[in-house]
Structure 1
Amino acid sequence: MNAEEEFTQACQSWQIYSEELLALQRNLTAETWQQLLTRITGCQGKIAVTGVGTSGIAARKIAHMLACVEQPAVYLSATDAAHGDLGFMRSDDLMILISRGGNSEELTRLLPTLESKGVMIISVTENPDSAIARAASLVIKTHIQREIDPLNMLATTSIVLVLAVFDALCGAIMRRNGFDQQRLLKVHPGGNVGKILREKDA
């Protein structure tokens, strides 16, 4: 395979991303979207986000983005959670569990404690019959059709869709809460974002 053919394959991968992202507007309903938005913004306690593997990496990003828009979110290591960190969860908290298959042992072993504490669960999974889906009060299913790796196995397209859902959610939270540049600067004073915001305020 030559360089041009390899680039063509890369373009085909990006096309899959585009098609799957556009499909979100058909596969997620306005009702589900409102439920997600209401539960996140209405949380009176802490929001914890967790997953394992690539889903865990996505969980870190989602927690960070929610914190950027002043939703009290933290990433929780699923392993550490099972070794005592679940102790910080309370009945007014919310847990977001991310797992394509929905039956990862690292997550399912957390469910009895979350239930006993009365923690609300939102599950993001492709498997509505999975353990984390059955335990959740709200399930976000992104309806992934095709990963972009040759084996159709790695979390590529599926993770892009999960991130796209929560990035759009953060945008909706900003609009709903009248989140302006001054408010963003207070929570994001560092880096190029902080520099640009300070220059605009000058």
Structure 2
Amino acid sequence: MDAEQSWQQATGGWEVYRRALSDLERQLDRQQWLAILNVLATCRGKIAVTGIGTSGIAARKIAHMLACIEHPAIWLSAADAAHGDIGFLRADDVLIMLSRGGNSDELTRLLPTLKSKGTTLVSVTENAASAIAQAADLLLLMPKTQEIDPLKMLATTSIISVLAVFDAMIAALMTHSGFNTDILLKVHPGGNVGNN
């Protein structure tokens, strides 16, 4: 592949991203999104976010952003959750579970414990028939996406869409709570933000 072909492949991928982001407004269920926004805005306990593989990396970012705006949130390793870390969850907590296919063993084995604890489960998936979708208290059904890698298998477009959905939710939560620059600077003393 020469330089021009590589550049064309890149721009084609970005066009797929543009379409996927545009599709969110038309295809994402507004009521599902608003219901999850409300649960996060009114949560009196903790918020945990989990996933496996690239979804796990996205989960870490979402948890970080929630914590940055003073919504008590952590990333929960699904593997460690199955070895005791799930013990910190209570009935007034929320667990956001990310999985494109929704049937990863590392996640599904947590479902009985979550149910017994009464923890609110928010499932984010493209598969409405999946185990995590069926077990969810709140479901965010993501539009099906075309991944941009040559095999159409790696989590690329699908993760961009999930992050876009939750970044928009973060912005809405900031507005809802009156989160302002003074608060941001107090919780963000490092980096360029803290230098402002």
Alpha-carbon distance between aligned partners in 1 of 2:29 and 2:59, rounded to the nearest angstrom: 23
Residue aligning to 2:4: 4
Could you tell me which runs of 5 or more consecutive residues in structure 1 were left unpaired when the two chains were aligned. 197-202
Partner of residue 26, structure 2 = 26
Q: Does 1:126 align with 2:130?
A: no
Matched letter for residue 28 of structure 1: L
Q: Considering only aligned residues, what root-mean-square deviation do their CA atoms show, in Å?
A: 0.8
Between stretches 78-87 and 26-35, larger displacement belongs to 26-35
Matched ranges for 1:132-143 at <5 A: 132-143=132-143
Q: Does structure 2 conserve the Cα–Cα contact (< 8 Å) formed by 1:62 and 1:163?
A: yes
User: Bigger shift: 184-193 or 138-147?
Assistant: 138-147
* Structure-1 separation of matches of 2:133 and 2:60: 20
The answer on whether the counterparts of 1:144 and 1:157 sit within 8 Å (CA) in structure 2 is: no
Counterpart for residue 75 of structure 2: 75
- Note the alpha carbon deviations across 1:95-136, whole angstroms, 9 max, x for none: 000001100000000000000000000001010110000110
Residue 150 of structure 1: SS of its match in structure 2?
A: coil
* Consecutive aligned runs of 4 or more in structure 1 exceeding 4 Å deviation: none
Q: Are residues 1:178 and 2:178 paired?
A: yes
Q: Is the 8 A contact 2:65 2:170 kept in 1?
A: yes
2:65 matches 1:65:
yes
- Give the drift of 1:145: 2.6
**Counterpart of 1:96?**
96
- Matched residues in 1 for 2:145 and 2:171: separation? 26
Deviation at 1:144, TM superposition (A): 2.5
> How many pairs are equivalent?
196
Native 8 Å contact 2:91 2:118 kept in 1: yes
1:28: how far off?
Answer: 1.6
Q: Please, which runs of 5 or more residues in structure 2 have no aligned partner?
A: none
Letter in 2 for 1:167: D
**What is the percent sequence identity of the aligned residues?**
61
User: Is 1:162 the equivalent of 2:150?
Assistant: no
CA deviations over 1:4-42 (Å, ceiling 9, x no partner): 121011000000001100110011233222101101111
